[in-house]
Amino acid sequence: MSNAVILDGKAVAGRVRAEVKERAAEFARTRGRAPGLAVVKVGEDPASAVYVRNKRLACEEAGIQSFAFDLPHSISRQDLRAQINGLNLDPAVDGILVQLPLPAALDANEIMDLVDPAKDVDGFHPYNTGLLAQKRPCLRPCTPYGVIRLAQEYGIALHGLRATVVGASNIVGRPMALELMLAGATVTVCHTRTRDVQAEVQRADVVVAAVGKPGMVRGEWIRPGAAVFDVGINRTEAGRLVGDVDYAAAAERAAWITPVPGGIGPMTIAMLLSNTLDAATARN
């Protein structure tokens, strides 16, 4: 029988979105226009299409104007660069989101680096990552920021805890480690060269799993009383969505755990909207 508190990302995201809606209304009253988010999608990746649709709907509900740029798979590097540069200069656009993955012919790093750091609402630009590393966060990567906000909402004090992040991607793992250090945790990051992932997870008070492998973090690895944040979203052959953590077994040992779906996913979109308002306010 599970005693873990289920961290309801959907409910907390709802509160964040309500805050954003209020801030967006205030912004529109004082500036005479809604905050604007440009969402750039290249090609026809089906998962990207779903994510982009959800982001645009979330903008609409929050009172943020969404500018849609659905570009063909065959777009040239020069044309995409010109599109991004145009959005950087557009005064109605406060945030720019380039949906990943990009087609293989395009260098994602090059394109992401083109985005004006002041409009980088994904928080992926090296400038914003650097500020986070220097303990001066500005626009923060949405998923790690969502984990921190969820922990705060449930009163999980991260200060002094031992945290293990499983996964070292630029999008989640690395910035997650920086966020946890900023919150005062002692952090270990597991990656493909880590000798004993199980041992690193077993000693952690906080586990963040972000590898994209269903059930990779076993329930018996979880230290009793730990907080478990599962960032993975994987579809099984049966079509079910599952995380990177063996949920049922982990929930028997953890004190707090996020479900999949309904945990970190809704928080990511909520923090994107929050970042858009932060960018709009700072720019204006």
Going by C-alpha positions, the residue among 89, 125, 121, 96 that lies closest to residue 110 is 125
Whether the upstream peptide bond of residue 101 has omega within 30° of 0, thus cis, is yes
**CA 146 – CA 266 distance, rounded (Å):** 9
> Do residues 21 and 62 lie in contact, with contact meaning Cβ atoms separated by under 8 Å?
yes
Going by C-alpha positions, the residue among 284, 265, 282, 274 that lies closest to residue 64 is 274
Helical H segments across the chain, by residue range: 9-31, 46-62, 77-89, 108-114, 126-133, 142-153, 173-182, 197-202, 247-251, 264-283
**CA 239 – CA 230 distance, rounded (Å):** 19
**CA 210 – CA 264 distance, rounded (Å):** 11
**CA 51 – CA 40 distance, rounded (Å):** 12
Give the per-residue pLDDT at 1.
Answer: 57
Joined together, the tokens standing for residue 127 give 């400038």
Going by C-alpha positions, the residue among 223, 242, 118, 131 that lies closest to residue 179 is 131
Alpha-carbon dihedral 10, 129, 138, 261, rounded to 10 degrees: 0
Which phi and psi angles does 256 have, rounded to 5°?
-140, 145
**CA 8 – CA 22 distance, rounded (Å):** 22
Give the per-residue pLDDT at 47.
Answer: 86
Give the per-residue pLDDT at 191.
Answer: 98
Question: Is 55 considered catalytic here?
Answer: yes
- Verdict on whether the full-model pTM lies above 0.85: yes
With a cut of 70, which residues of the chain have pLDDT below it?
1
Average pLDDT, the chain: 97
134: helix, strand or coil: coil
**CA 95 – CA 120 distance, rounded (Å):** 6
Catalytic hit among 122, 205, 230, 246: 122
- Kindly report, residue by residue over 121-171, the tens digit of the pLDDT: 999 999 999 999 999 999 999 999 999 999 999 999 999 999 999 999 999
Question: Is 99 considered catalytic here?
Answer: yes
Catalytic hit among 41, 83, 94, 99: 99
Give the per-residue pLDDT at 60.
Answer: 96
Q: What is the DSSP letter of 106?
A: S
Catalytic hit among 41, 55, 94, 205: 55
Going by C-alpha positions, the residue among 253, 205, 284, 281 that lies closest to residue 2 is 253
Question: Is 122 considered catalytic here?
Answer: yes
